[in-house]
Structure 1
Amino acid sequence: MYPFFSIIIPVYNCEKTIEETLESVLNQTISDYEIIIINDFSSDNTMEIVEKYKDKLNEIKVISNFKNLGVAESRNIGFKAAIGKYVALLDGDDVWTNDKLEKQRAVISKNNCDICCTAYNFIDSNSLMIKKTYNVPENLDYNMLLKENYIGCSTVVIKKELLHGNSMNSKFQHEDYAFWLRLARHGAKIIGINEPLVYYRILADSRSFNKFKSAKGRFKIYLDQEKFGVIKSLYYFFHYAANGIMKKFL
Protein backbone atom coordinates (compact mmCIF):
# COMPACT_ATOMS: atom_id res chain seq x y z
CA MET A 1 0.00 0.00 0.00
CA TYR A 2 1.35 3.40 -0.95
CA PRO A 3 1.95 5.98 1.81
CA PHE A 4 0.19 9.33 1.83
CA PHE A 5 3.44 11.28 2.17
CA SER A 6 6.92 10.78 0.76
CA ILE A 7 9.31 12.85 2.87
CA ILE A 8 12.38 13.91 0.89
CA ILE A 9 15.41 14.98 2.92
CA PRO A 10 18.55 15.99 1.00
CA VAL A 11 21.59 15.97 3.28
CA TYR A 12 25.10 17.30 2.89
CA ASN A 13 27.37 17.43 5.94
CA CYS A 14 24.49 17.86 8.37
CA GLU A 15 26.01 16.00 11.32
CA LYS A 16 25.22 18.84 13.74
CA THR A 17 21.52 19.07 12.84
CA ILE A 18 20.30 15.88 11.17
CA GLU A 19 19.43 14.12 14.43
CA GLU A 20 17.07 16.91 15.49
CA THR A 21 15.55 16.92 11.99
CA LEU A 22 14.92 13.17 12.02
CA GLU A 23 13.53 13.26 15.55
CA SER A 24 10.94 15.77 14.35
CA VAL A 25 9.85 13.23 11.72
CA LEU A 26 9.86 10.37 14.18
CA ASN A 27 7.60 12.38 16.51
CA GLN A 28 4.91 13.13 13.91
CA THR A 29 1.37 12.41 15.09
CA ILE A 30 0.70 10.40 11.92
CA SER A 31 2.86 7.64 10.47
CA ASP A 32 1.51 7.27 6.94
CA TYR A 33 4.76 8.21 5.24
CA GLU A 34 7.99 6.98 3.73
CA ILE A 35 11.32 8.76 4.13
CA ILE A 36 13.78 9.24 1.29
CA ILE A 37 17.17 10.58 2.31
CA ILE A 38 19.41 11.79 -0.49
CA ASN A 39 23.02 11.74 0.63
CA ASP A 40 24.69 14.41 -1.48
CA PHE A 41 28.23 13.05 -1.03
CA SER A 42 28.59 13.97 2.66
CA SER A 43 32.09 13.77 4.07
CA ASP A 44 31.26 14.09 7.78
CA ASN A 45 29.32 11.78 10.13
CA THR A 46 25.89 12.57 8.72
CA MET A 47 25.27 9.10 7.35
CA GLU A 48 26.48 7.36 10.48
CA ILE A 49 23.74 9.22 12.34
CA VAL A 50 21.17 8.39 9.66
CA GLU A 51 22.01 4.68 9.93
CA LYS A 52 21.00 4.72 13.60
CA TYR A 53 17.49 5.78 12.59
CA LYS A 54 16.81 3.08 10.06
CA ASP A 55 15.18 0.85 12.67
CA LYS A 56 13.13 3.70 14.16
CA LEU A 57 11.67 5.43 11.13
CA ASN A 58 8.97 4.09 8.83
CA GLU A 59 10.19 2.85 5.46
CA ILE A 60 13.41 4.83 5.32
CA LYS A 61 15.29 4.76 2.01
CA VAL A 62 18.78 6.13 1.42
CA ILE A 63 20.01 7.17 -2.01
CA SER A 64 23.66 8.20 -2.27
CA ASN A 65 24.86 10.53 -5.00
CA PHE A 66 28.11 9.55 -6.74
CA LYS A 67 29.29 13.16 -6.32
CA ASN A 68 27.99 16.40 -4.83
CA LEU A 69 25.09 17.38 -7.11
CA GLY A 70 23.54 20.16 -5.04
CA VAL A 71 20.18 20.42 -3.34
CA ALA A 72 18.09 20.94 -6.51
CA GLU A 73 19.29 17.77 -8.24
CA SER A 74 19.10 15.84 -4.97
CA ARG A 75 15.44 16.79 -4.56
CA ASN A 76 14.78 15.82 -8.18
CA ILE A 77 16.21 12.38 -7.47
CA GLY A 78 13.87 12.16 -4.50
CA PHE A 79 10.90 13.21 -6.65
CA LYS A 80 11.52 10.27 -8.98
CA ALA A 81 11.86 7.78 -6.13
CA ALA A 82 8.77 8.96 -4.21
CA ILE A 83 5.67 6.74 -4.21
CA GLY A 84 3.44 8.77 -1.87
CA LYS A 85 0.38 10.74 -2.94
CA TYR A 86 2.07 13.94 -1.74
CA VAL A 87 5.76 14.79 -1.46
CA ALA A 88 6.90 16.64 1.67
CA LEU A 89 10.20 18.51 1.55
CA LEU A 90 12.45 18.83 4.57
CA ASP A 91 16.02 20.12 4.66
CA GLY A 92 18.57 18.41 6.87
CA ASP A 93 18.90 21.36 9.23
CA ASP A 94 15.21 22.29 9.67
CA VAL A 95 12.69 20.94 12.18
CA TRP A 96 8.96 20.16 12.06
CA THR A 97 6.42 20.49 14.85
CA ASN A 98 4.90 17.15 15.84
CA ASP A 99 1.53 17.83 14.19
CA LYS A 100 2.82 19.34 10.94
CA LEU A 101 1.87 16.51 8.58
CA GLU A 102 -1.43 15.79 10.34
CA LYS A 103 -2.59 19.39 9.94
CA GLN A 104 -1.53 19.52 6.31
CA ARG A 105 -3.30 16.28 5.54
CA ALA A 106 -6.51 17.71 7.04
CA VAL A 107 -6.22 20.81 4.81
CA ILE A 108 -5.51 18.67 1.76
CA SER A 109 -8.54 16.49 2.45
CA LYS A 110 -10.76 19.56 2.80
CA ASN A 111 -9.47 21.58 -0.17
CA ASN A 112 -7.92 19.02 -2.54
CA CYS A 113 -5.08 21.50 -3.06
CA ASP A 114 -2.00 20.81 -5.14
CA ILE A 115 0.43 22.49 -2.74
CA CYS A 116 0.15 23.20 0.98
CA CYS A 117 2.63 25.35 2.88
CA THR A 118 2.71 26.75 6.41
CA ALA A 119 3.98 29.68 8.44
CA TYR A 120 7.33 29.12 10.14
CA ASN A 121 9.62 30.28 12.90
CA PHE A 122 13.36 30.86 12.74
CA ILE A 123 16.04 29.22 14.87
CA ASP A 124 19.81 29.65 15.05
CA SER A 125 22.57 27.05 15.07
CA ASN A 126 21.76 26.28 18.73
CA SER A 127 18.03 25.82 18.00
CA LEU A 128 17.17 29.07 19.80
CA MET A 129 14.29 31.15 18.46
CA ILE A 130 15.22 34.27 16.47
CA LYS A 131 13.17 36.76 14.45
CA LYS A 132 9.38 36.91 14.24
CA THR A 133 7.10 34.26 12.80
CA TYR A 134 6.88 34.33 9.02
CA ASN A 135 3.15 34.32 8.23
CA VAL A 136 1.49 33.07 5.05
CA PRO A 137 -1.85 33.90 3.36
CA GLU A 138 -4.53 31.21 3.19
CA ASN A 139 -4.75 31.35 -0.60
CA LEU A 140 -1.75 31.91 -2.85
CA ASP A 141 -1.48 32.45 -6.58
CA TYR A 142 1.12 33.29 -9.21
CA ASN A 143 0.79 37.07 -8.97
CA MET A 144 1.24 37.00 -5.20
CA LEU A 145 4.31 34.80 -5.46
CA LEU A 146 5.94 37.13 -7.97
CA LYS A 147 6.08 39.80 -5.27
CA GLU A 148 6.93 37.59 -2.32
CA ASN A 149 8.08 34.00 -1.86
CA TYR A 150 5.64 32.88 0.80
CA ILE A 151 6.54 29.20 0.47
CA GLY A 152 9.25 27.96 2.80
CA CYS A 153 10.78 24.84 1.31
CA SER A 154 10.62 22.73 4.48
CA THR A 155 6.97 23.68 5.00
CA VAL A 156 5.69 22.49 1.64
CA VAL A 157 3.88 19.35 0.52
CA ILE A 158 3.19 18.87 -3.19
CA LYS A 159 0.83 16.55 -5.03
CA LYS A 160 3.02 13.86 -6.58
CA GLU A 161 1.30 14.01 -9.97
CA LEU A 162 2.47 17.62 -10.36
CA LEU A 163 6.06 16.39 -10.35
CA HIS A 164 5.71 14.31 -13.50
CA GLY A 165 7.75 16.26 -16.03
CA ASN A 166 8.55 19.00 -13.48
CA SER A 167 11.84 19.38 -11.65
CA MET A 168 13.93 21.99 -9.88
CA ASN A 169 16.49 23.84 -11.97
CA SER A 170 19.95 23.98 -10.40
CA LYS A 171 21.00 26.98 -12.51
CA PHE A 172 18.96 29.21 -10.20
CA GLN A 173 20.23 30.04 -6.73
CA HIS A 174 16.62 30.06 -5.50
CA GLU A 175 15.71 26.83 -7.23
CA ASP A 176 12.71 26.31 -4.96
CA TYR A 177 11.24 29.76 -5.63
CA ALA A 178 11.65 29.28 -9.39
CA PHE A 179 9.86 25.94 -9.03
CA TRP A 180 6.90 27.40 -7.09
CA LEU A 181 6.49 30.13 -9.71
CA ARG A 182 6.44 27.64 -12.54
CA LEU A 183 3.86 25.43 -10.83
CA ALA A 184 1.69 28.43 -9.89
CA ARG A 185 1.88 29.84 -13.42
CA HIS A 186 0.42 26.57 -14.67
CA GLY A 187 -2.53 26.78 -12.28
CA ALA A 188 -1.48 24.85 -9.17
CA LYS A 189 -3.89 25.41 -6.27
CA ILE A 190 -1.88 26.57 -3.26
CA ILE A 191 -3.21 26.74 0.31
CA GLY A 192 -1.31 28.21 3.24
CA ILE A 193 -1.72 27.31 6.91
CA ASN A 194 -0.97 30.47 8.89
CA GLU A 195 0.42 28.58 11.84
CA PRO A 196 4.16 28.03 12.39
CA LEU A 197 4.64 24.29 11.92
CA VAL A 198 8.32 24.46 10.93
CA TYR A 199 11.51 25.79 12.48
CA TYR A 200 13.71 27.17 9.73
CA ARG A 201 17.38 27.27 10.71
CA ILE A 202 19.46 30.33 9.82
CA LEU A 203 23.18 29.61 9.56
CA ALA A 204 25.98 32.08 8.81
CA ASP A 205 27.17 29.99 5.86
CA SER A 206 23.73 29.39 4.34
CA ARG A 207 22.87 30.67 0.88
CA SER A 208 20.10 32.91 2.19
CA PHE A 209 22.49 34.63 4.60
CA ASN A 210 24.26 36.40 1.70
CA LYS A 211 21.68 39.08 0.92
CA PHE A 212 23.41 40.54 -2.14
CA LYS A 213 23.82 37.15 -3.80
CA SER A 214 20.25 36.27 -2.83
CA ALA A 215 18.91 39.45 -4.45
CA LYS A 216 20.87 38.80 -7.62
CA GLY A 217 19.49 35.28 -7.75
CA ARG A 218 15.92 36.54 -7.44
CA PHE A 219 16.37 39.01 -10.29
CA LYS A 220 17.78 36.23 -12.50
CA ILE A 221 14.58 34.23 -12.08
CA TYR A 222 12.45 37.12 -13.32
CA LEU A 223 14.67 37.61 -16.34
CA ASP A 224 15.63 34.07 -17.33
CA GLN A 225 12.71 31.89 -16.28
CA GLU A 226 9.72 34.21 -16.30
CA LYS A 227 11.08 36.00 -19.40
CA PHE A 228 10.24 39.44 -18.09
CA GLY A 229 11.97 42.47 -19.52
CA VAL A 230 14.25 44.58 -17.35
CA ILE A 231 11.54 47.08 -16.38
CA LYS A 232 9.02 44.42 -15.36
CA SER A 233 11.75 42.51 -13.53
CA LEU A 234 12.69 45.65 -11.63
CA TYR A 235 9.04 46.17 -10.70
CA TYR A 236 8.78 42.78 -9.03
CA PHE A 237 12.28 43.04 -7.59
CA PHE A 238 11.24 46.30 -5.89
CA HIS A 239 8.40 44.47 -4.16
CA TYR A 240 10.80 41.70 -3.11
CA ALA A 241 13.22 44.25 -1.63
CA ALA A 242 10.46 46.24 0.09
CA ASN A 243 9.03 43.09 1.65
CA GLY A 244 12.49 42.13 2.86
CA ILE A 245 12.95 45.50 4.55
CA MET A 246 9.52 45.32 6.22
CA LYS A 247 10.19 41.81 7.52
CA LYS A 248 13.42 43.01 9.09
CA PHE A 249 12.23 46.20 10.77
CA LEU A 250 8.49 45.83 11.43
Structure 2
Amino acid sequence: MKLSLVSIITPCLNAQKYLEKMISSVISQTYKNWELIIVDDFSNDDSVKIVKKFLDQYPRIKLLRLSKRSGTASARNEGINFAEGRYLTFLDADDYWGDNFLKYSLKNIKDNSFIYSDLNFVDEAGKFIDKISAISKVNYDGILKGTPISCLTAFIDLKKIGKKLFPLNTYREDIAYWLLLLKDCNEARGFSFCEANYRYRKGSSSSNKFKMAFQTWQDYRNQYNLSFLRSLYFFSYYAFNGFKKFFLFYFVKTFKNLKIINFFRLKK
Protein backbone atom coordinates (compact mmCIF):
# COMPACT_ATOMS: atom_id res chain seq x y z
CA MET A 1 0.00 0.00 0.00
CA LYS A 2 1.34 3.40 -0.95
CA LEU A 3 2.13 5.62 2.02
CA SER A 4 0.51 9.06 2.07
CA LEU A 5 2.83 12.01 1.59
CA VAL A 6 3.22 14.47 4.48
CA SER A 7 4.13 18.06 3.59
CA ILE A 8 6.18 19.87 6.25
CA ILE A 9 6.33 23.66 5.95
CA THR A 10 9.24 25.55 7.51
CA PRO A 11 9.48 29.36 7.29
CA CYS A 12 13.07 30.44 7.74
CA LEU A 13 14.55 33.82 8.62
CA ASN A 14 18.18 34.08 9.75
CA ALA A 15 18.06 30.70 11.50
CA GLN A 16 21.56 29.44 10.75
CA LYS A 17 22.15 28.53 14.39
CA TYR A 18 19.29 26.01 14.51
CA LEU A 19 18.63 24.80 10.95
CA GLU A 20 20.76 21.67 10.96
CA LYS A 21 19.08 20.37 14.11
CA MET A 22 15.62 20.99 12.64
CA ILE A 23 16.46 19.35 9.29
CA SER A 24 18.13 16.38 10.99
CA SER A 25 15.02 15.81 13.11
CA VAL A 26 12.95 15.49 9.92
CA ILE A 27 15.46 13.20 8.20
CA SER A 28 15.41 10.95 11.30
CA GLN A 29 11.64 10.41 11.20
CA THR A 30 10.65 6.74 11.29
CA TYR A 31 7.89 7.56 8.78
CA LYS A 32 9.74 8.29 5.56
CA ASN A 33 7.22 9.57 3.01
CA TRP A 34 7.56 13.30 3.66
CA GLU A 35 8.58 16.46 1.87
CA LEU A 36 10.22 19.30 3.77
CA ILE A 37 9.51 22.67 2.16
CA ILE A 38 11.80 25.34 3.58
CA VAL A 39 10.71 28.86 2.64
CA ASP A 40 13.50 31.36 3.13
CA ASP A 41 12.12 34.79 3.98
CA PHE A 42 15.02 36.78 2.51
CA SER A 43 17.61 35.78 5.13
CA ASN A 44 20.89 37.67 5.25
CA ASP A 45 22.87 35.02 7.16
CA ASP A 46 24.03 31.54 6.05
CA SER A 47 20.60 29.90 6.28
CA VAL A 48 20.31 29.26 2.53
CA LYS A 49 23.86 27.93 2.37
CA ILE A 50 23.10 25.45 5.15
CA VAL A 51 19.91 24.22 3.46
CA LYS A 52 21.69 23.77 0.14
CA LYS A 53 24.11 21.32 1.77
CA PHE A 54 21.19 18.90 2.19
CA LEU A 55 19.47 19.29 -1.18
CA ASP A 56 21.54 16.89 -3.31
CA GLN A 57 21.51 14.07 -0.77
CA TYR A 58 17.87 14.51 0.24
CA PRO A 59 15.63 15.34 -2.75
CA ARG A 60 12.61 15.36 -0.42
CA ILE A 61 13.91 18.69 0.91
CA LYS A 62 12.80 21.67 -1.20
CA LEU A 63 13.98 25.26 -0.89
CA LEU A 64 11.82 28.23 -1.86
CA ARG A 65 13.39 31.68 -1.68
CA LEU A 66 11.32 34.84 -1.36
CA SER A 67 12.58 37.93 -3.18
CA LYS A 68 11.70 40.22 -0.28
CA ARG A 69 10.94 39.85 3.41
CA SER A 70 7.26 38.95 3.68
CA GLY A 71 6.65 37.61 7.18
CA THR A 72 5.99 34.18 8.65
CA ALA A 73 2.39 33.85 7.44
CA SER A 74 3.27 34.71 3.83
CA ALA A 75 6.20 32.29 3.92
CA ARG A 76 3.96 29.50 5.20
CA ASN A 77 1.41 30.29 2.49
CA GLU A 78 4.09 29.92 -0.19
CA GLY A 79 4.88 26.51 1.24
CA ILE A 80 1.22 25.49 1.42
CA ASN A 81 0.69 26.43 -2.23
CA PHE A 82 3.76 24.37 -3.20
CA ALA A 83 2.84 21.35 -1.05
CA GLU A 84 1.85 18.09 -2.72
CA GLY A 85 1.03 15.95 0.31
CA ARG A 86 -2.29 14.76 1.68
CA TYR A 87 -1.21 15.82 5.16
CA LEU A 88 0.13 19.17 6.27
CA THR A 89 2.21 20.11 9.29
CA PHE A 90 4.52 22.94 10.33
CA LEU A 91 7.98 23.04 11.88
CA ASP A 92 9.71 26.35 12.52
CA ALA A 93 13.42 26.58 11.80
CA ASP A 94 14.47 26.79 15.46
CA ASP A 95 12.29 23.90 16.69
CA TYR A 96 12.65 20.15 16.20
CA TRP A 97 10.82 16.83 16.50
CA GLY A 98 11.46 13.45 18.07
CA ASP A 99 11.86 10.55 15.65
CA ASN A 100 8.24 9.37 15.85
CA PHE A 101 6.31 12.62 15.43
CA LEU A 102 5.00 11.79 11.95
CA LYS A 103 4.33 8.14 12.85
CA TYR A 104 2.21 8.98 15.89
CA SER A 105 0.45 11.88 14.17
CA LEU A 106 -0.58 9.68 11.25
CA LYS A 107 -1.81 6.99 13.64
CA ASN A 108 -4.07 9.42 15.48
CA ILE A 109 -5.45 11.41 12.56
CA LYS A 110 -7.18 8.44 10.92
CA ASP A 111 -10.59 9.32 12.37
CA ASN A 112 -9.96 13.06 12.54
CA SER A 113 -9.16 15.95 10.23
CA PHE A 114 -7.14 18.24 12.54
CA ILE A 115 -5.09 17.10 15.53
CA TYR A 116 -2.37 18.35 17.87
CA SER A 117 -0.28 16.85 20.66
CA ASP A 118 1.89 17.47 23.72
CA LEU A 119 4.79 19.90 23.59
CA ASN A 120 8.18 20.17 25.28
CA PHE A 121 9.68 23.55 26.05
CA VAL A 122 13.48 23.46 25.72
CA ASP A 123 16.05 26.21 26.13
CA GLU A 124 18.38 27.48 23.42
CA ALA A 125 20.76 24.59 24.06
CA GLY A 126 17.95 22.02 23.83
CA LYS A 127 17.73 21.37 27.58
CA PHE A 128 14.27 20.40 28.82
CA ILE A 129 12.33 23.15 30.66
CA ASP A 130 8.73 21.99 30.87
CA LYS A 131 6.03 19.94 29.18
CA ILE A 132 2.66 21.26 28.03
CA SER A 133 0.00 18.55 27.80
CA ALA A 134 -2.60 18.76 25.06
CA ILE A 135 -6.22 18.99 26.17
CA SER A 136 -8.47 16.34 24.62
CA LYS A 137 -10.23 18.65 22.16
CA VAL A 138 -10.80 22.28 21.30
CA ASN A 139 -13.41 24.07 19.20
CA TYR A 140 -13.73 27.56 17.70
CA ASP A 141 -14.70 29.22 20.97
CA GLY A 142 -11.90 27.42 22.79
CA ILE A 143 -9.31 29.00 20.50
CA LEU A 144 -10.82 32.43 21.11
CA LYS A 145 -10.53 31.80 24.85
CA GLY A 146 -6.80 31.28 24.48
CA THR A 147 -6.52 27.48 24.36
CA PRO A 148 -3.19 26.94 22.63
CA ILE A 149 -2.39 24.78 19.63
CA SER A 150 1.28 24.95 18.76
CA CYS A 151 2.19 25.04 15.08
CA LEU A 152 4.81 22.33 15.46
CA THR A 153 2.27 19.82 16.83
CA ALA A 154 -0.62 20.63 14.47
CA PHE A 155 -1.36 17.95 11.87
CA ILE A 156 -3.99 18.47 9.18
CA ASP A 157 -5.69 16.17 6.67
CA LEU A 158 -5.99 18.28 3.52
CA LYS A 159 -8.24 15.70 1.85
CA LYS A 160 -10.87 16.34 4.52
CA ILE A 161 -10.37 20.08 5.07
CA GLY A 162 -8.81 21.33 1.84
CA LYS A 163 -5.92 23.75 1.40
CA LYS A 164 -6.38 26.97 3.30
CA LEU A 165 -3.95 29.85 3.62
CA PHE A 166 -2.92 31.80 6.70
CA PRO A 167 -4.84 35.08 7.02
CA LEU A 168 -2.61 38.13 6.69
CA ASN A 169 -2.78 41.50 8.43
CA THR A 170 -3.55 39.99 11.81
CA TYR A 171 -1.27 39.93 14.84
CA ARG A 172 -1.65 36.22 15.63
CA GLU A 173 -1.73 34.51 12.25
CA ASP A 174 -1.64 31.04 13.82
CA ILE A 175 -4.77 31.74 15.88
CA ALA A 176 -6.55 33.12 12.83
CA TYR A 177 -5.54 30.00 10.88
CA TRP A 178 -6.88 27.58 13.50
CA LEU A 179 -10.16 29.50 13.53
CA LEU A 180 -10.34 29.24 9.75
CA LEU A 181 -9.85 25.46 9.91
CA LEU A 182 -12.35 25.03 12.74
CA LYS A 183 -15.10 26.67 10.73
CA ASP A 184 -15.11 23.50 8.62
CA CYS A 185 -14.11 20.70 10.99
CA ASN A 186 -15.86 21.86 14.22
CA GLU A 187 -13.15 20.64 16.58
CA ALA A 188 -9.50 19.67 16.74
CA ARG A 189 -8.47 16.64 18.80
CA GLY A 190 -5.53 16.55 21.18
CA PHE A 191 -3.40 13.45 21.78
CA SER A 192 -1.00 12.52 24.54
CA PHE A 193 2.31 11.87 22.84
CA CYS A 194 5.25 14.23 23.11
CA GLU A 195 7.54 14.37 20.07
CA ALA A 196 7.69 18.15 19.55
CA ASN A 197 10.31 20.46 21.02
CA TYR A 198 9.69 24.19 21.11
CA ARG A 199 12.84 26.21 21.65
CA TYR A 200 12.12 28.95 24.19
CA ARG A 201 14.30 31.99 23.71
CA LYS A 202 14.77 34.65 26.35
CA GLY A 203 14.11 38.29 25.63
CA SER A 204 10.34 38.73 25.70
CA SER A 205 9.38 41.63 27.94
CA SER A 206 6.19 42.49 29.80
CA SER A 207 5.66 45.33 27.37
CA ASN A 208 5.41 42.74 24.59
CA LYS A 209 2.79 40.87 26.61
CA PHE A 210 0.71 44.04 26.88
CA LYS A 211 1.14 44.62 23.15
CA MET A 212 -0.01 41.06 22.42
CA ALA A 213 -3.05 41.52 24.66
CA PHE A 214 -3.96 44.78 22.91
CA GLN A 215 -3.54 43.22 19.46
CA THR A 216 -5.63 40.22 20.52
CA TRP A 217 -8.44 42.58 21.51
CA GLN A 218 -8.11 44.33 18.14
CA ASP A 219 -8.34 40.98 16.36
CA TYR A 220 -11.49 40.06 18.29
CA ARG A 221 -13.16 43.28 17.18
CA ASN A 222 -11.78 43.77 13.67
CA GLN A 223 -10.54 40.42 12.34
CA TYR A 224 -13.19 38.11 13.80
CA ASN A 225 -15.98 40.73 13.84
CA LEU A 226 -17.09 40.00 17.39
CA SER A 227 -19.39 42.36 19.25
CA PHE A 228 -18.01 44.34 22.17
CA LEU A 229 -19.66 42.03 24.73
CA ARG A 230 -18.49 38.83 23.02
CA SER A 231 -15.01 40.31 22.69
CA LEU A 232 -15.03 41.11 26.40
CA TYR A 233 -16.22 37.59 27.20
CA PHE A 234 -13.47 35.87 25.23
CA PHE A 235 -10.81 38.37 26.29
CA SER A 236 -11.48 37.63 29.96
CA TYR A 237 -10.68 33.97 29.30
CA TYR A 238 -7.64 34.94 27.25
CA ALA A 239 -6.31 37.14 30.06
CA PHE A 240 -6.92 34.47 32.70
CA ASN A 241 -5.20 31.78 30.63
CA GLY A 242 -2.30 34.14 30.00
CA PHE A 243 -1.90 34.81 33.72
CA LYS A 244 -2.12 31.09 34.50
CA LYS A 245 0.56 30.34 31.92
CA PHE A 246 2.78 33.06 33.36
CA PHE A 247 2.34 31.74 36.89
CA LEU A 248 2.96 28.10 36.05
CA PHE A 249 5.77 28.59 33.57
CA TYR A 250 7.74 31.44 35.11
CA PHE A 251 6.84 31.71 38.79
CA VAL A 252 6.88 28.00 39.57
CA LYS A 253 10.05 27.42 37.55
CA THR A 254 11.80 30.26 39.32
CA PHE A 255 11.01 28.77 42.73
CA LYS A 256 12.02 25.33 41.53
CA ASN A 257 15.39 26.70 40.52
CA LEU A 258 15.75 28.14 44.02
CA LYS A 259 14.89 24.67 45.39
CA ILE A 260 12.11 26.19 47.50
CA ILE A 261 9.39 23.98 46.06
CA ASN A 262 11.56 20.88 46.43
CA PHE A 263 12.18 21.88 50.07
CA PHE A 264 8.46 21.96 50.82
CA ARG A 265 7.97 18.62 49.04
CA LEU A 266 10.55 17.03 51.31
CA LYS A 267 8.73 18.42 54.35
CA LYS A 268 5.47 16.65 53.47
TM-score (norm 1): 0.91
Counterpart in 1 of 2:263?
Answer: none
Cα separation, 2, equivalents of 1:32 and 1:227: 40
Cα separation, 2, equivalents of 1:202 and 1:209: 18
Amino acid at match of 2:105: Q
Cα separation, 1, equivalents of 2:206 and 2:131: 17
> Cα RMSD over matched residues?
2.1
Q: Residues 109 and 157 of structure 2 are in contact (CA less than 8 Å); yes or no, is this contact kept in structure 1?
A: no
Counterpart in 2 of 1:125?
Answer: 124
What CA deviation, in whole Å up to 9, does each residue of 1:109-139 have, x standing for no partner? 2x1x221111101122222222x31121222
Cα separation, 2, equivalents of 1:115 and 1:143: 16
Amino acid at match of 1:73: S
Cα separation, 1, equivalents of 2:199 and 2:80: 23
Cα separation, 1, equivalents of 2:18 and 2:54: 14
1:87-126 equivalence runs, <5 A: 87-109=88-110, 111=111, 113-126=112-125
Counterpart in 2 of 1:22?
Answer: 23
Any unmatched runs of 5+ in structure 1? none
Amino acid at match of 2:44: S
How far did residue 3 of structure 1 move? 4.6
Cα separation, 2, equivalents of 1:235 and 1:13: 39
Counterpart in 2 of 1:231?
Answer: 229
Q: Residues 115 and 159 of structure 1 are in contact (CA less than 8 Å); yes or no, is this contact kept in structure 2?
A: yes
Amino acid at match of 1:85: R
**Relative to structure 1, is the Cα distance of residues 209 and 100 closer, same or farther in structure 2, using a 3 angstrom cutoff?**
farther
Amino acid at match of 2:115: C
How far did residue 56 of structure 1 move? 4.2
What CA deviation, in whole Å up to 9, does each residue of 1:20-61 have, x standing for no partner? 111111111110111111011010011111111224435111
Counterpart in 2 of 1:171?
Answer: 169
**Relative to structure 1, is the Cα distance of residues 83 and 174 closer, same or farther in structure 2, using a 3 angstrom cutoff?**
same
SS in 1 for 2:44: coil
Counterpart in 1 of 2:266?
Answer: none
**Relative to structure 1, is the Cα distance of residues 142 and 172 closer, same or farther in structure 2, using a 3 angstrom cutoff?**
same
Cα separation, 2, equivalents of 1:75 and 1:139: 25
Cα separation, 2, equivalents of 1:65 and 1:208: 32
SS in 2 for 1:148: coil
SS in 2 for 1:104: helix
Find the structure with the greater CA-based Rg.
2
1:162-241 equivalence runs, <5 A: 162-164=161-163, 166-204=164-202, 210-241=208-239
TM-score (norm 2): 0.85
- Identity across matched positions, percent: 33
**Relative to structure 1, is the Cα distance of residues 137 and 89 closer, same or farther in structure 2, using a 3 angstrom cutoff?**
same
Amino acid at match of 1:197: E
Counterpart in 1 of 2:144?
Answer: 146
Asked if residue 158 in structure 1 is aligned to residue 193 in structure 2, the reply is no
Asked if residue 63 in structure 1 is aligned to residue 64 in structure 2, the reply is yes
What CA deviation, in whole Å up to 9, does each residue of 1:134-187 have, x standing for no partner? 1212222112222123210111122224343x3112211210111101221333
Any unmatched runs of 5+ in structure 2? 249-268
SS in 2 for 1:121: strand
SS in 1 for 2:195: strand
Q: Residues 118 and 194 of structure 2 are in contact (CA less than 8 Å); yes or no, is this contact kept in structure 1?
A: yes
Of the structure 1 ranges 152-161 and 184-193, higher mean CA displacement relative to structure 2 is found in 184-193
Amino acid at match of 1:249: F
**Relative to structure 1, is the Cα distance of residues 26 and 237 closer, same or farther in structure 2, using a 3 angstrom cutoff?**
same
Amino acid at match of 1:160: L
Amino acid at match of 1:100: F
SS in 1 for 2:135: coil
